[in-house]
Structure 1
Amino acid sequence: MDRRPTPPRTHPFAFDPTYGHDLDALLAVPAPGNEPPDFAAFWQELYARARAVAVDARIEERLPAGRPGEPGPDGPAPAALEAYRISYTSLGGVRLGGWLTLPAGAEPTRAAVLTHGYGGRAAPDPRVPIDGAAVLQPCLRGLPALSELPQIGTPHVVQGLASRETYVHGGCAADIWCAATALHELLPATRGLRLDYLGGSFGGGIGALALPWDDRFASGHLTVPSFGNHPLRVGLECLGSGSHIRARHLADPSVLDVLAYFDAATAARHLRIPVHVGAALFDAYVPPPGQFAVHNALAGPRQLHVMPFGHFFDHPDDAAEHARLQSAVRAFFAEPAACAA
């Protein structure tokens, strides 16, 4: 942990996005105490099924040179990249889209899977803080712009929540595993390279669920990870996906029995590779106690970058805070995976 920032003093929200927690209180938030006895077995079986998928990865289009990726607050892309639109098959036979970025004019020396928030990914992000990396940027099932599916409606977070076998988050974790397979299929040389994971918000929570079971990943970064400590989260007023889970829980408290298998903090207890977490003191969309529950439960080497706020894009310090986070993530991924502690 690098510093002790302070949350914003003023905000437009009708509730307190710190939830009465200071940093010391957040560092004490645990994972849920009721891990299902077959939690690991459930995920290991799901992973085995995903690894058996014939992903049939394809490059669909090469993007024109110089075409910009998603706008970012931390300046231009640090290096020239080649970018491609790709597709691959994931668990259940769903065909997904995504993007592949490569260092221009050079062989990749690293590999990574980079996911997204609930907004999906409309274009490749060129600002991956790992130099020389081949990066598969999948659009996970049901999300824009390349993987919207008629069988997955909105709000995404409650789709299939009737059972653990049908809940959409299991499929999204499988999409990450199949994305790694697709990257290795498109670029066989990457099988011999260090493979890392990066995900934020939705992608941070899904990453925490997916990473413990796939030993191809050497290390990971999770920004403001969602889905941590569901029994706690359903009692916290919030915006976004958490509000839909709260509403479902109010109508049917038994959903916690399904969500127990998709708790990012519970999964973190099984995650033993080095992980860097960017967690916020103030967040109206992903309550900080849930974010810190994920970090606090990590079973392996961990680093924490504390941010004063998350999901507060109109804040005047947003660009500066994003740049600080990117610098911390870059430093983490520059370390040898075995020493990232």
Structure 2
Amino acid sequence: MSIPTEHPFDFDPTYGLGIEELRAIRPPEPPPNFDEFWRARYLRTLGVNPEPRLERSASSHPDWRVQDIVYASTDEFQIGGWLLLPRAGAVRRGLVVGHGYGGRDEPDFDIPVQETAVLFPCFRGLSRSRRAPISSDPEGHVLTGIDKPERYILGGCVEDLWMAVSVLTELYPEIAGRIGYGGVSFGGGVGALAIPFDRRIDRGHLSLPTFANMPLWLTLPTVGSGHAVQNYQRTHKDVLKTLRLFDAATAATRIQIPMLLAVARFDPVVAPPCQFSVANARPTSNHHETVILDAGHFDYPGAQEQQAQLSEKVRRFFGAT
């Protein structure tokens, strides 16, 4: 283990917690209408026709056929992204891949899957899905609509993910029931919110997931999107009423499919206690595995080795039938 000991932050990104203390953290209690809120959104999303439009991409790769894609999401939002199709072998599975709060400039060509149609959507307001007046800056994006739960941007991003699953099932009906999701940081939190309410998703990988354990998230110093929400809370004391409905750890307690979680002990952007709140929401078993990294959102000795080991686990996880 090589947790960083030197860093430029004016707070401790381990928050003074050891591994056993992190493993003991549990998700907060849900608000009374949590499940009803998300089930209604999911049913409403299923009524939207994604109308995917594909074009040959300027990007190319020897292992993948690359297509640019645009599809319709809720609120008449057009979502842009990329679709990768294997040059060798049939399409036997589907995978939706989320992104961090930095957005995405291109698909991840090193994703360790085969015989898989891989859809890389850009969530609304970010990268290929930019639209005024939504800020593409994380500290502005995370506040969009935060005063109205039905209009909060995170809910729209969850719907974009559900619509991505609809796109894959429309393009490749034969893979229905064999579609996974993988997301890191921002995409990890969005995935935790989306997965339990969409039974079309059969397995999920969440890495460094954010938006978890909101009562704690609002109190821990950070340089991530949580910092903007903490500043907002100073003049909007009731913001937790909205955030409790968007708690990734609360949602994770409802996940019933196989999961591979990756969480960090040191992270200045997504506080480790919040990450572990997601990982601890489901018991470790043959169907749920948690990988503990030394650090997240920060370079550290051994990072390449740990990421290589995680990549191999991801390959085996999404290669399972």
TM-score range for the pair, normalised by the shorter chain length? over 0.9
Q: Identify which of 24, 44, 47 aligns with 2:42.
A: 47
After TM superposition, the structure 1 stretch with the greater mean CA deviation from structure 2, 215-224 or 54-63, is: 54-63
How has the CA–CA distance of structure 1 residues 64 and 312 changed in structure 2, closer, same or farther, with 3 Å as cutoff? closer
Q: Which position in structure 2 is the counterpart of 1:150? A: 132
4+ residue segments displaced more than 4 Å: none
Preserved CA contact (<8 Å) 2:2 2:302: no
Gapped runs of 5+ residues in structure 2? none
Q: Which position in structure 2 is the counterpart of 1:260? A: 244
Q: Which position in structure 2 is the counterpart of 1:129? A: 112
Gapped runs of 5+ residues in structure 1? 67-78, 337-341
Matches within 5 A, 1:314-325: 315-325=300-310
Identity %: 41
Q: Which amino acid aligns with 1:18?
A: T
For normalisation by structure 2, the TM-score amounts to 0.94
Residue 218 (structure 2) pairs with residue 234 (structure 1): yes
Q: Which position in structure 1 is the counterpart of 2:202? A: 218
Per-residue CA deviations over 1:43-66 (Å, capped at 9, x if unaligned) read: 000001111101100103334543
CA distance in structure 1 between the aligned counterparts of 2:264 and 2:114, rounded to whole angstroms:
26
SS of equivalent to 1:150: coil
Matches within 5 A, 1:1-341: 5-33=1-29, 35-63=30-58, 65-66=60-61, 80-144=63-127, 146-153=128-135, 154=137, 155-191=140-176, 194-298=178-282, 301-313=287-299, 315-336=300-321
CA distance in structure 1 between the aligned counterparts of 2:101 and 2:191, rounded to whole angstroms:
13
Per-residue CA deviations over 1:68-124 (Å, capped at 9, x if unaligned) read: xxxxxxxxxxx7111111000001110110100011043212111001001111111
Q: Which amino acid aligns with 2:265?
A: L
SS of equivalent to 1:251: coil
SS of equivalent to 1:297: coil
SS of equivalent to 1:328: helix
Q: Provide the aligned C-alpha RMSD in A.
A: 1.6
SS of equivalent to 1:276: strand
* CA-CA distance at 1:6 after TM superposition: 4.3
For normalisation by structure 1, the TM-score amounts to 0.89
Q: Which amino acid aligns with 1:44?
A: R
Per-residue CA deviations over 1:252-307 (Å, capped at 9, x if unaligned) read: 22000000000000101111111110000000000000000011113784200000
How has the CA–CA distance of structure 1 residues 299 and 213 changed in structure 2, closer, same or farther, with 3 Å as cutoff? farther
* CA-CA distance at 1:316 after TM superposition: 4.4
CA distance in structure 2 between the aligned counterparts of 1:50 and 1:285, rounded to whole angstroms:
31
